[in-house]
Amino acid sequence: MRQLTVLQLHAMMEAEPEARPHLLDVREPREFQLARIAGSELLPMQQIPDKVEEIDRSHPTVVICHHGTRSLQVVAFLERMGFKNLHNLQGGIDAWARHVDSRIALY
């Protein structure tokens, strides 16, 4: 399992659009409405098993949650399903708001 810091992700997001990772946010819709990284896709954790075939296996994917715990569980699940190019965002959206984009609400 690969961990990614918010500063590493920030650097990746500065790359050309085609080189940027897919951002998969596994929080609940109400959380996503409060705070999110621009360009991220919402797919709540509980929906992952039913939607696993809709997730692009070929593109690097960073899984995001509030603090990094749910996303860690989703990455482990997806790896068991054969996904290879996954990263867990350490500290989640909370760390992103604290260290990268202070305009994002803390909750």
Active site residue 65: yes
54: tokens are 């809709």
Q: Report the pLDDT value the prediction gives residue 1, as an integer from 0 to 100.
A: 77
Q: What is the pLDDT of residues 68-81, one digit of tens each?
A: 999 999 999 999 99
pTM here is 0.95
Q: Helix or strand or coil: residue 59?
A: coil
Q: What is the mean pLDDT of the chain?
A: 96
Q: What is the pLDDT of residues 31-63, one digit of tens each?
A: 999 999 999 999 999 999 999 999 999 899 999
Q: Which of 6, 35, 55, 65 is catalytic?
A: 65
Handedness of CA 63, 65, 79, 45 (dihedral sign): negative
Share of the chain above pLDDT 70, in %: 100
Q: Which domains does the chain have, with CATH numbers?
A: 2-99 (3.40.250.10)
Residue whose pair of structure tokens reads 């951002």 in the numeric block: 23
